[in-house]
A and B are shown apart, each in its own frame.
Chain A
Amino acid sequence: MKRGKRKWLFFLLFLFLSFALVACSGNNEKAGGNSDDGKDEVKDTPKELVFGRGGDSTSLDPGATTEGEAFKVTVNIFENLINFGEQNTELEPGLAVDWNVSDDGLVYTFQLREGVKFHDGTDFNAEAVVVNFERWKNGNAGTSGDQTPFPYYQSMFGDNIEKVEATGEYEVQFTLKHPQAVFLKNIAMSPFAITSPAALEKYGDKINENPVGTGPYKFVEWQRNDRIVIEKFDDYWDSEYPKIDKIIFRSIPDNSARLNALKTGDVDLIDGINYSDVAAIEADSNLQIFTRPSMNVGYLGLTTTRGPLQNKLVRQALNHAVDKEAIIAAFYEGYAEPAKNPMPPVISGYNDDIEDYPYDLERAKELLAEAGYPDGFEMELWAMPVPRPYMPDGQKVAQAIANTFEQIGVKVEIVSYEWGTYLEKTAAGEADAFMLGWTGDNGDADNFLYTLLDKDNIGTNNYTYYSNDELHEILVQAQRVSDEEQRVELYKKAQEIIKEDAPWIPLVHSQPLLAGRADIKNFLPHPTGSDRLHKVEFGN
């Protein structure tokens, strides 16, 4: 046979073969899953849950990161003094059973739960709490803005915690420099979970790969970019939980591939659903959709220290050049609302009187001309490589934005990096315009406006390097007053200033969706995106 023809035949054969293989592997997986079920004592109740998600954790040391995928795992290994409610950000007892505040709002006293053990067998007590908070505080001492080991501690507490003392075996006392209205909510945030002091000593720098907490699950292994395995901690203080013996978090970056894995039974639960797939999932009786209460914002940051973006008029012009409605119709299938503020409307203090920059390319061109760029300019537009709850497909939305930017003369090159690198580089201020987003970690306006846009947080979470002294005054004041109405007024004012300065193009508040096997029970997605899975079980 002639070589050319043979090559061609090979190609066809290969195509058919691969299709056949795909079909076969699907069937095998299903068969394998079923036979596994049979081995269990109780029929149809596998005790292993495989959670498919879009990206790998960046760290297993919750204090060392601000990133959602990391917390998704750590909330099941670690616990906080205070927990959030099942599907809200109300405060509930955690490792602390009770707490009170002094009248001047400066001293918080926590009564701790007794009889709690860390996974390494050591006891949890007041001293453990002190060690953890001092680690975060001292670790940050003397470091510069863009290289803090514990960025979230820096953002949420700064140097406000004067001291943490063990005032008894199971009593711990925090003394603050200034009253902080959101102190308790901050304490409940995923990054401030308590690690075993013995493990901190044992593992040193390697603690981010060897997490030891008090949570319902203990760490087994972490294969980077593939899987993290955790299994039931037998000495968990609440003997009723966890219900499932083993949880595997698998990273499957591609949304369609992840959904396919769910359909074939490779995974049991997935996040990051393509909104276009919702109808098909609903039609499948083996699957169900879970709705996560929405508390997020997806945005395009305009780094205020770079090139033409230093000019406020340019940033406003770009704000006029994004067709949010079209993006939502196309890439969210309507499961999102356009954002005009940097925080979602469910959060107290949201300013609904703000008028968004309308989609108006003519106006955008005028503003560019006024700013001295009548012919536009060139810049990079960074798009995240992984699907996020607030951004199902960053690359595509970036293309849509690039298209309208080019219509006003702003030539855009779409750039992307591996997720960890992407976050590092944006935090270092290396991006011109970049797509990012934020899911609230404590349900307070402070966790959006101050965390993301105050000058104190440049280098940690303020990726745009936006700095405004007037805004800073307002945000700090809002942290210190305890009167809710007064706080709301301050945050409304803050949103006006931010709108005018336009360091962001707020894009959307999305409705994150998850999907799982139809027999998953008691899975309650949390608005913060960090789901505690100890109550989840399989049943009919």
Chain B
Amino acid sequence: MADISTDKMEVNLEEEQVISPWKEAWRTFRKNKLALVGGGIVTFFILLAIIGPFVVPEGIDDQKLTEARLQPPSAEYWFGTDDFGRDIFSRVVHGARISLSVGFFSVMGSIIVGSFLGILAGYYRGIVDGVISRIFDIMLAFPSILLAIGIVAVLGPSLQNALIAIAIINIPTFGRLIRSKVLSVKEEEFILAAKSIGMKDTRILFHHILPNSMPPIIVQGTLAIATAIIEAAALGFLGLGARSPKPEWGRMLADSQAYFINAPWMMIFPGLAIILTVLGFNLLGDGLRDALDPKMKT
């Protein structure tokens, strides 16, 4: 009996030496079909945002008022044209760059500020924690889109301010996440060890605690990009984000309202673009969670 159990342990040890946590995550992720689809969609839109604008037939504001107004989808205009005679396909592709960058940069902003505040709160506790956590509580008490509208109303409607507003409303989510992670990691033995050999706080925070908090941030970040894209579109739709003629998808939806009976393609394609990207990021985020979150592992 004793022999057999030793054997097992040896086998386990060998496997753990070969497979790093990241590799194992990739294995789990690869088995998840939905996650792969999500990843595919996201990759597709990222490529679209990077190279799309160089290959589409038209710019963002090539008006053809008399020649090509409200044309239905055709070989020439794949997604039809809008009320200014602009090619909707070209505009949707240009819009990918706007929506993805708003999603990405606003979430990056939230992560940076949120992590910083979360680490402070979690590591130092006491009054710092009290102040930061209460601020988070207050911010979370507002419905997020309402808070975003309020912030844009103060800053003035523009794409840049919409981005800032979305970044701000997502800060507490990341802040809390990091704080709780810091609280648990802080008590780990390797941190105690680091402290006992006289390591500085900053080094402990940024070389040990932060890297150990990365997986949940990546998961939450991916999901937050999806929300951020919807929020940017909502602000654009309300006239508080990008302004015409910027081909922001929400703005395009708002512009299509007057024509939704006569020219439904004006609404369908930007709408589909929003749905697909958001779906992509959500599927990807779920897949990443399954792969990275140790608590989900069996």
Contact = CB atoms under 8 A, between A and B. Distances in A.
A4 B286 contact: yes
Contact of B230 (A2, A5, A11, A331): A11
A409 to B, nearest CB: 15
Nearest to B227: A7
Contact of A399 (B66, B84, B227): B84
A2 B226 CA distance: 15
Contacts of B257: 254, 256
B245 interface: yes
Contact of B258 (A256, A330, A403): A256
Contact of B244 (A3, A11, A276, A395): A395
A13 interface: no
Interface stretch (B7-15, B161-169, B181-189, B277-285): B277-285
A251 B282 CA distance: 41
A11 B84 CA distance: 31
A325 interface: yes
B278 A330 contact: no
Contacts of A399: 61, 63, 84, 244-245
A497 interface: no
B84 A329 contact: no
Contacts of B83: 330-331, 396
A67 B286 CA distance: 57
B65 A280 contact: no
B223 interface: yes
A276 B259 contact: yes
A528 interface: no
Contact of A330 (B69, B223, B279): B69
A255 interface: yes
B282 A400 contact: no
A289 interface: no
B65 A4 contact: no
A323 interface: yes
B269 to A, nearest CB: 17
B243 A4 contact: no
B261 A280 contact: yes
A400 B84 contact: yes
Contacts of A326: 65-66
A8 interface: yes
Contact of A400 (B65, B243, B258, B262): B65
Contacts of A274: 258
A212 interface: no
Contacts of A255: 258
Interface residues of A, number: 27
A1 B278 CA distance: 18
Q: Is the interface of A mostly helix, strand, loop or mixed?
A: helix
Given A280-B261, A399-B245, A330 B286 contact: no
Contact of B282 (A7, A327, A396): A7
B289 interface: yes
Nearest to B261: A280
B282 A8 contact: yes
Contacts, number: 64
Contact of B279 (A8, A256, A329): A8
A166 interface: no
Contact of A5 (B63, B66, B282): B282
A329 B286 contact: no
B289 A327 contact: no
A276 B69 CA distance: 12
Interface string B34-75: 000000000000000000000000000101011001000000
A323 B227 contact: no
A329 B258 CA distance: 16
A417 to B, nearest CB: 12
A414 interface: yes
Given A3-B223, A4-B289, A276-B259, A414 B243 contact: yes
A327 B65 contact: yes
Interface in A228-261: 254-256
A327 B66 CA distance: 8
Contacts of B279: 8
B140 to A, nearest CB: 15
Contacts of B61: 399, 403
Contacts of B65: 323, 326-327, 329-330, 400
Nearest to A256: B258
Contacts of A3: 223
Interface string A1-44: 01111011001000000000000000000000000000000000
Contacts of A329: 65-66, 69
B66 A4 contact: no
A274 B259 CA distance: 10
A326 B262 CA distance: 20
Contacts of A396: 83-84
Interface string B270-298: 00000000110010011001000000000
Interface of A: 2-5, 7-8, 11, 254-256, 274, 276, 280, 323, 325-327, 329-331, 393, 395-396, 399-400, 403, 414
30 contacts: A2-B286, A4-B282, A4-B286, A4-B289, A7-B226, A7-B282, A8-B279, A8-B282, A11-B230, A11-B278, A256-B257, A276-B258, A276-B259, A323-B66, A326-B65, A326-B66, A327-B65, A330-B65, A330-B83, A330-B85, A396-B84, A399-B84, A399-B244, A400-B65, A400-B84, A403-B61, A403-B63, A403-B84, A414-B243, A414-B244
Given A8-B282, A330-B85, 8 more contacts: A5-B286, A7-B227, A256-B257, A323-B65, A330-B84, A396-B83, A399-B244, A400-B65
Q: What 9 A-B pairs have minimum CB-CB distances, sorted nearest first?
A: A326-B65, A330-B65, A4-B223, A4-B282, A326-B66, A403-B63, A4-B286, A4-B285, A256-B258
